[in-house]
């Protein structure tokens, strides 16, 4: 590990220098394995946050207090430590800039991580594909990559970002302040006539509800790709 960026109180990005890394696609993950002194092993999957164009691999990890792996990755691991990983893994939940239809990204919590890799890939490749992100978090402190997302959204580069905060909102909050629902999706999502490609990632119940709302809007189910984190056992 060559750098550690604390993104929120519970979320950190690990920047890794991986020998013999042959590149990845935006949306893929890696499996991280920890081995205790007595040989006990625990393994979890973490999404890649960096663009394929980035020479250094970055994963973003949310610390789960009852987790076996994430409390080590967010809190104990130090710059210079070695981390055992395999990957990149996945080919289904993947977006490439060659795909030129409008892009809709819907994130719940740390489900934003693989979608951030897609946004970074889009920027790094100089793509003009129009993209919209709808991002649900509990509180303002839980928004991952906020500064970078705001910068990209205000750069006039055809990326819009809509936030919703479900638990608490700061005063003068201009975003949404409720769970994702039909009206919100209708306001943010591309009309189905544009044949958009949608990627939805987050906790299982969030993903199923958001994907259902897109189907109700008339989106082609085959153009809605989902990745469920479950309750996530990190």
Residues that bind other proteins (CB under 8 A): 29, 31, 43, 45, 86-87, 89-93, 203-205, 225-231, 233
Nearer CB in complex with other proteins: 137/226: 226
Q: Is the dihedral angle over the CA atoms 38, 44, 50, 52 positive or is it negative?
A: positive
Nearer CB in complex with other proteins: 169/209: 209
Nearer CB in complex with other proteins: 55/230: 230
Two structure tokens written together for 140: 């303002």
Nearer CB in complex with other proteins: 72/206: 206
Question: What is Dmax (Cα atoms) for the chain?
Answer: 57
Query: Residue 135, exposed/middle/buried by CB under 10 A (0-12, 13-18, 19+)?
Result: buried
**Phi, psi angles (nearest 5°) of residue 124:** -65, -30
Under DSSP, the state recorded for 226 is E
**Phi, psi angles (nearest 5°) of residue 188:** -95, -40
Nearer CB in complex with other proteins: 163/199: 199
Nearer CB in complex with other proteins: 93/135: 93
Q: Where are the beta strands (DSSP E) in the chain?
A: 3-8, 11-16, 29-35, 41-47, 57-62, 84-89, 103-108, 131-137, 159-165, 197-202, 224-228
Nearer CB in complex with other proteins: 153/201: 201
Neighbours of 231 (CB within 10 A): 10
Closest CA to 50 of 148, 131, 147: 148
Contact 223, 195 (CB under 8 A): yes
């Amino acid at each position: 590990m060559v750098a550690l960026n604390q993104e929120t109180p519970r979320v950190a990005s690990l920047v890794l220098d991986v020998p013999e890394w042959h590149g990845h696609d935006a949306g893929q993950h890696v499996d991280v394995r920890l081995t205790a002194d007595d040989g006990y092993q625990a393994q979890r999957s973490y999404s890649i946050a960096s663009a394929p164009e980035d020479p250094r691999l970055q994963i973003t990890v949310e610390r789960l207090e009852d987790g076996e792996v994430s409390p080590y990755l967010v809190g104990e691991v130090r710059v210079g430590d070695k981390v055992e990983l395999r990957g990149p893994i996945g080919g289904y939940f993947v977006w490439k800039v060659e795909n030129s239809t409008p892009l809709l990204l819907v994130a719940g919590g740390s489900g934003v991580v693989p979608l951030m890799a897609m946004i970074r890939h889009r920027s790094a490749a100089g793509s003009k594909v129009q993209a919209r992100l709808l991002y649900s978090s509990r509180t303002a402190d839980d928004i991952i990559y906020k500064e970078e997302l705001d910068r990209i959204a205000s750069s006039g580069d055809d990326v819009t970002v809509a936030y919703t905060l479900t638990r608490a909102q700061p005063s003068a909050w201009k975003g949404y302040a409720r769970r994702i629902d039909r009206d919100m999706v209708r306001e943010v999502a591309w009309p189905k006539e544009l044949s958009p490609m949608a990627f939805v990632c987050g906790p299982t119940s969030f993903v199923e509800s958001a994907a259902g709302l897109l189907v109700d809007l008339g989106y082609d189910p085959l153009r809605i790709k989902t990745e469920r984190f479950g309750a996530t056992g990190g």
